[in-house]
Structure 1
Amino acid sequence: MFSYEVICFSCRKAFRVYEGSKEYERFKKNRNSAFCCEDCHHQIRIEAIKYFFR
């Protein structure tokens, strides 16, 4: 299985994107794009939901 190591724009930690995922396809199309790891993605989404219901 192919994978790439990408840097999270939020926490600056390296994580892997694996073949078949959406992030992998985005990386193949545009390597200069900003990527977010699963933990940060979840935190950002929860914060957005909380802010929406205020």
Structure 2
Amino acid sequence: MFYYEVICSSCKNKFRVYEGSLRYRLLKEGSNKIFRCEDCNHKIRMDAIKNFFRDRL
């Protein structure tokens, strides 16, 4: 299986983007220059959800 090693824009750690994933396709197309690892992506997403519901109350 093919993969690329990419540096996370948030934590600066290396992670792998495997062939067949959405991130791999975006990397090959060159349409997205910023990539985040699964952990950072999850943290950012959860913070956005929390802030969205906090503003609603």
TM-score for the superposition, normalised by structure 1:
0.94
- SS of 2:33 mapped into structure 1: coil
Percent same amino acid among aligned pairs? 61
**Partner amino acid, structure 2, of 1:15:** F
* CA displacement, residues 1-54 of structure 1 (integer Å, 9 cap, x when unaligned): 000000000000000000000010011011770001000000000000000001
**Structure 2: runs of 5+ lacking an equivalent:** none
**Count of residue pairs brought into register by the alignment:** 54
Report which of the two has the higher share of helix: 2
Select the structure of larger CA radius of gyration. Answer: 2
TM-score for the superposition, normalised by structure 2:
0.89
Q: Which runs of 4+ in 1 moved over 4 A?
A: none
- Distance in 2 separating the partners of 1:32 and 1:38: 16
Cα RMSD over matched residues?
A: 1.3
Alignment correspondent of 2:29: 29
- Distance in 1 separating the partners of 2:31 and 2:50: 31
